[in-house]
Chains A and B, each alone.
Chain A
């Protein structure tokens, strides 16, 4: 008994290879909630700048529209839309879990799967609409 325990200790991996770790789906949703939150935080000045150009004058409005029509800005917008949809839907999932809805492990996995599908579909629809 003692010997097998020792052997296990000896054979234990000594370094942490991140590529051998597969995150469970709930962890994926969780870390993406965090990543999308940081992304949205970083986008606040862009949103304020867009709002400013939207309402300041007709000339600024035209500049804003011509910017929004470039493919690069459209790609950024799709990225932002993804971050928004993920943060929004994952946030609603969190609020529902706060009131004890779908909190068992299997239900949480199910809601994670539904969430990732919803985010993907919403982002694709957004991309089609703006392109």
Chain B
């Protein structure tokens, strides 16, 4: 039943599940991040740099932000559908949000690659 609900026939279910899964992954990342920060308590540039530079941390951060961008995309699309009734305006705003989120992803990759 669950598998059937996730087929192309029910696109809303896929969006619904994506929203929840990305939320869960972000929650785990943030809780882990807070615990790690409380343990290591980095102070000063060198300590922060050492905290962020391990490859596994940068990968986790990349995954976190990808989840954030998907989650934000779903949420903003819902909000636009609820409040912007003009179809052309809504489509334009949606394209703007899409472009913004893609730009954020490239920006983030640039930051993480250059550490």
B-binding residues in A (CB < 8 A)? 34, 37-38, 40-41, 44-45, 48, 51-52, 54-58, 61-62, 88, 91-92, 95, 98
Tell me whether A88 and B107 are in contact in the complex, defined as CB-CB below 8 angstroms, given that A34-B79, A54-B48, A55-B115 are known contacts: no
Contacts of B104 in A (CB 8 A): 44-45, 48
B12: CB under 8 A from chain A?
Answer: no
**Bound complex: CA A58 to CA B47 (Å):** 11
Known contacts being A55-B49, A58-B45, A61-B45, is A48 close to B27, with CB within 8 Å? Answer: no
**Is there contact, CB below 8 Å, between A48 and B24?**
no
- Indicate if the CB atoms of A48 and B30 lie closer than 8 Å: no
Task: Tell me how far the C-beta of B40 lies from the nearest C-beta in chain A, rounded to whole angstroms.
Answer: 15
Q: How large is the interface on B (under 10, 10 to 19, 20 to 34, 35 or more residues)?
A: 20 to 34
Q: Check B111 against A38 for contact (C-beta < 8 Å).
A: no
> CB within 8 A of A48: which of B20, B76, B107, B115?
B107
Within the complex, the shortest CB–CB distance from A122 to chain B, in Å, comes to 11
Q: Could you say which residues of chain B place their CB within 8 Å of the CB of A48?
A: 104, 107-108, 111
**Chain B residues proximal to chain A, CB less than 8 Å:** 20, 23-24, 27, 30, 44-45, 48-49, 52-53, 68, 72, 75-76, 79, 104, 107-108, 111, 114-115
Complex alpha-carbon distance, A56 and B68, angstroms: 23
Our pick among B20, B48, B79, B107 for the contact of A61 (Cβ within 8 Å) is: B48
Contacts of A40 in B (CB 8 A): 72
Nearest Cβ on chain A to B65's Cβ, whole angstroms: 8
B111 touches A91 (CB 8 A): no
What A residues does B23 contact at CB under 8 A?
A: 91, 95
One of A54, A91, A98 near B52 (C-beta < 8 A): A54
